[in-house]
Amino acid sequence: MKKITINDVARHAGVSKKTISRVLNQEPNVSSETRKKVEKSFTELGYRPNPQARALASSQSYLIGLLYPSQSNSYVSNIQKGALERCRAEGFHLVIYPEDHENESLISQFESNLNSSNLDGIILTPPFADMRKLLDLLKEREIPVVRVGAISALDSIPSVISNDAEASYEMCRYLISIGHHKIAFIKGHLDHGATEQRLSGYTKALKEAGIPILDQFIQQGNFSFESGEDCARRLLSLKVPPSAIFASNDYMAAGIVKVAKQKGISIPHDLTVTGFDNAPASRYIWPSLTTIKQPITEMAIEATRMLIRIIRKKPLEKLSTTIRNELIVRESSAPAKT
Amino acid sequence: MKKITINDVARHAGVSKKTISRVLNQEPNVSSETRKKVEKSFTELGYRPNPQARALASSQSYLIGLLYPSQSNSYVSNIQKGALERCRAEGFHLVIYPEDHENESLISQFESNLNSSNLDGIILTPPFADMRKLLDLLKEREIPVVRVGAISALDSIPSVISNDAEASYEMCRYLISIGHHKIAFIKGHLDHGATEQRLSGYTKALKEAGIPILDQFIQQGNFSFESGEDCARRLLSLKVPPSAIFASNDYMAAGIVKVAKQKGISIPHDLTVTGFDNAPASRYIWPSLTTIKQPITEMAIEATRMLIRIIRKKPLEKLSTTIRNELIVRESSAPAKT
DNA sequence: GAAATTTATGATAGCGGTGTCAGAACTAGT
DNA sequence: ACTAGTTCTGACACCGCTATCATAAATTTC
């Protein structure tokens, strides 16, 4: 099949290249008559405009980059889902860049990626959304950016965030309301801003309820299953163990469930375990986890929508959007034994 | 920062555009002297070639598409990981296309995606790897394709496959070797070629061991957690229930574990449950699942390597590569009670 | 040391579109 | 009917790089 170019169509329709281009880009000032004629030629010839040529001439690539941590989990797949939904609707394509955020040469590597792709815009997920150097690079390059789940409220860069601190607070309120006051908390990876946020909700709720905050009840995890196991072993061998453990993500919660079961501790009868994120695993394990559902997909949809507006140079309604988390009560939580 | 073009570099280095281009593309016939001079200009000016212009002039986009089912799971993230590793090493970018394989208008939608992106090549995962219409479209468009995990051995299209039937056979051999002969099997989604393959390994192993194949021991699932639960309920309420259930993926196996626990059946003491895929959840649940590890990432790496060779018009060593699965014994399997 | 190769370099024409701007074809106003 | 203001349309330069091919320089050949 021979390639059809804009010149072929112009000849076939008996108009100039530029008019074809006008129809292609839905520009005004084309009589409906010629428009019809041109569109007819499109279908008759099976014309497909060359994206690269348009990109060169218009300096737009219709590519959006998504940067996320490479220790990929369900968070990422939900982000991708949301971003893609918008991209597709708007004629953009999504190019993915998983990166190790602890990699020393991250910036320079990412820069060379940038050089070879000419993205129209970039979506940043945690912890990249808070990396100053990265933001500076992108600013210097004048590449539009939207940040998802960022912590630092940056003056000028648009972002979509969720209310992690509040959700964490709500979870603790729930645990307290069903009679728990020996509540332990497992922190996440220190590089993630969410870690701090989630902890703050915990301390706030306990303080408010007049429950003392005990050092030994706050353990440092790193969002991995294994770190959950480790923390659980420590917590469950305390002289006075907690009656509820709130892990700041579901993988760590799953680790806790495993260790508890191995020790013959019944969940939720003897111990309540809750997580954060509503990862798929939170449904697959037994008992299924009480957790916080993060509207990740929705956040990505909104972020992408904003990004495309910026790319199109349309004004943004607001610089920052918050999307609310939601408590999901399942089987792993029950009233404290009296 | 002003944009530096090839003309600026040419002027700065005192050579012609074409010579710059030669250095850029590592073409031969450039004296090492001028090469050095040009490279010096590159760094001094901070020159970044425009990808779109190169794409237009050379009709190569350096974009590779990845098509996969949108009910995304760990399979996908592993595929992405592998594909990206190669892409990055070779200067390509990965554009992702999750699609619903049951969508009627899949082909036409995907075609419009193709039109707006000009991919250099495409990687197809199951079940797309076996969709005749899609393969025809891509062939007509002369877009290089590599198939991952395809079943049908197509004459001319390169593919990377794993030995699912053998692995399934091996799993059953293992179960038989530890004393099980009441072994049930849960089939996956019928649209996936793997479903048939995995079943064939089961029947082969049982036949070989002289174990009769019972209809009621073969249940139809669809790869989802819920379908695992359903099948488990049916299997566990048989007059003569199985002593081992082999689910053809881990999500279904997790569903079985849940139902069994709810019924107070101890795993692996009273019932052995095994899965397939080595999904993250297989480690997170308790007891952790004995399963088959699919070398998905490796398959994707190999597929991408092959694809890039095709794009570069280099000969392929062989049309089809097989990468071996591996049995992983964990906690959910134990010898049959005598 | 002249002729025949081989290697290095540049002039110029695209690649397939879009942007600019001028001119033609309509409308409307008086 | 004539001018002013819109609405269409096209010629042509240009986006930034690569391909082709001719030519100049260096090397080999005998």
Strands of the sheet with A145-148, listed across from one edge: A320-323, A159-162, A145-148, A121-124, A63-69, A93-99, B93-99, B63-69, B121-124, B145-148, B159-162, B320-323
How high is the mean pLDDT of chain A? 91
Buried b (16+ CB within 10 A) or exposed e, A18-57: ebbbbbbeeeeebeeebeebbeebbeebebbbbbbbbbbe
pLDDT-derived band at A208 (thresholds 50, 70, 90) equals very high
Instruction: Give the nucleotide at minimum CA-to-C1' distance from B17.
Output: C10
Instruction: Look at residue A60 in the predicted model and tell me its pLDDT.
Output: 87
| A159-162/A320-323 β-pairing | parallel
pLDDT in tens, A145-187: 999 988 877 768 999 999 999 999 999 999 999 999 999 999 9
Are the CB atoms for B117 and B89 separated by under 8 Å? no
Instruction: Look at residue B118 in the predicted model and tell me its pLDDT.
Output: 86
> With a 7 Å cutoff on the CB, does A51 touch strand C?
no
The secondary structure of residue B215, as a DSSP letter, is G
The secondary structure of residue B131, as a DSSP letter, is -
CA B113/CA B334 separation, integer angstroms: 50
Furthest C-alpha separation in chain A: 89
Inform me whether the pLDDT recorded for A74 exceeds 80.
no
CA of B33 to C1' of D23 (A): 21
Instruction: Look at residue B91 in the predicted model and tell me its pLDDT.
Output: 79
Show residues, CB within 7 A, near nucleic chain D.
A 14-19, 22, 28-31, 33-34, 56-57, 59; B 3, 5-7, 17-18, 20-21, 24-25, 47-50, 53-54, 56-58
Joined together, the tokens standing for residue B333 give: 């399997």
CA A81/CA B78 separation, integer angstroms: 16
Furthest C-alpha separation in chain B: 89
pLDDT, average across residues A283-308? 93
Specify the 3-state DSSP secondary structure of A84: helix
Terminal Cα-to-Cα distance of chain B (whole angstroms): 78
Fold of B164-294: Rossmann fold (3.40.50)
- H/E segment holding residue B200: helix B193-208
Instruction: Look at residue A72 in the predicted model and tell me its pLDDT.
Output: 58
CA of B162 to C1' of D2 (A): 83
Fold of A6-49: 434 Repressor (Amino-terminal Domain) (1.10.260)
| B272-274/B63-69 β-pairing | unpaired
CA of A47 to C1' of D10 (A): 21
- Residue to mutate among B94, B96, B223, with most A CBs inside 10 A, is B96
CA A9/CA A38 separation, integer angstroms: 8
For A15, how many CA atoms within 13 A lie in the half-sphere containing its CB?
22
Lowest mean per-residue pLDDT among A47-61, A107-121, A261-275: A107-121
> With a 7 Å cutoff on the CB, does B7 touch strand C?
no
CA B142/CA B140 separation, integer angstroms: 5
Q: Which whole-number Å values give the CA distances from A156 to A10, A93, A111, A300, A310, in the listed order?
A: 45, 25, 21, 19, 13
Inform me whether the pLDDT recorded for A294 exceeds 80.
yes
Q: Which residues have CB under 8 Å from B187's CB, separation 6+?
A: B195, B198, B199, B218, B219, B220, B221, B248
DSSP string over B172-187 = HHHHHHTT---EEEEE
pLDDT, average across residues A117-126? 90
Kindly report the number of other CB atoms within 10 A of residue A89's CB atom. Answer: 12
Q: Is the dihedral of CA A92, A96, A101, A102 positive or negative?
A: negative
Are the CB atoms for A218 and A242 separated by under 8 Å? no
Instruction: Look at residue B72 in the predicted model and tell me its pLDDT.
Output: 58
pLDDT in tens, A187-201: 999 988 889 999 999
> With a 7 Å cutoff on the CB, does B213 touch strand C?
no
B123: phi then psi, degrees, rounded to nearest 5: -105, 130
Instruction: Give the nucleotide at minimum CA-to-C1' distance from A32.
Output: D8
DSSP string over B241-298 = --SEEEESSHHHHHHHHHHHHHTT--TTTT-EEE-SB--THHHHSSSPPBEEE--HHH
- Angle between helices B164-177 and B193-208 in degrees, nearest 10: 40
Fold of A59-162+296-323: Rossmann fold (3.40.50)
Inform me whether the pLDDT recorded for A129 exceeds 80.
yes
Q: Is the dihedral of CA A250, A254, A259, A260 positive or negative?
A: positive
| B159-162/A93-99 β-pairing | unpaired
Strands of the sheet with A272-274, listed across from one edge: A218-220, A183-187, A244-247, A272-274
Specify the 3-state DSSP secondary structure of B84: helix
For B211, how many CA atoms within 13 A lie in the half-sphere containing its CB?
22
CA of A17 to C1' of C19 (A): 13
Joined together, the tokens standing for residue A207 give: 């303080």
CA A124/CA A97 separation, integer angstroms: 10
Q: Tokens 């280099």 label which residue? A: B314
Fold of B59-162+296-324: Rossmann fold (3.40.50)
Q: Which residues have CB under 8 Å from B44's CB, separation 6+?
A: B12
DSSP string over A103-151 = -TTHHHHHHHHHHTT--SEEEE-TTGGG-HHHHHHHHHTT--EEEES--
Joined together, the tokens standing for residue B203 give: 């029947």
One-letter identity of residue A281:
A
In chain A, what residues touch B56 (CB-CB under 8 Å)?
50, 52-53, 55-56
Lowest mean per-residue pLDDT among A65-69, A82-86, A241-245, B44-48: A82-86
The CA angle A278-A279-A284, to the nearest 5 degrees, is 105
pLDDT, average across residues A6-18? 92
Q: Which residues have CB under 8 Å from A2's CB, separation 6+?
A: none
Residues of chain B with pLDDT under 70: 1-2, 72-73, 155
Terminal Cα-to-Cα distance of chain A (whole angstroms): 78
Specify the 3-state DSSP secondary structure of B55: helix
Are the CB atoms for A53 and B56 separated by under 8 Å? yes
Query: Where are the extended beta strands (E) located within chain A?
Result: 63-69, 93-99, 121-124, 145-148, 159-162, 183-187, 218-220, 244-247, 272-274, 291-293, 320-323, 326-328
Q: Could you check whether A59-162+296-323 and A164-294 share the same CATH topology?
A: yes
Give residues 17-36 of chain B lying near strand C (Cβ < 7 A): 17-19, 22, 28-31, 33-34
For B77, how many CA atoms within 13 A lie in the half-sphere containing its CB?
22
Instruction: Look at residue A1 in the predicted model and tell me its pLDDT.
Output: 58
Map out the domains of chain B as residue ranges: 6-49, 59-162+296-324, 164-294
Taking an 8 Å cut-off on Cβ atoms, the answer to whether B73 and A280 are in contact is: yes
Are the CB atoms for A149 and A125 separated by under 8 Å? yes
One-letter identity of residue A76:
V
Q: Which residue of A has its CA nearest to B141?
A: A1
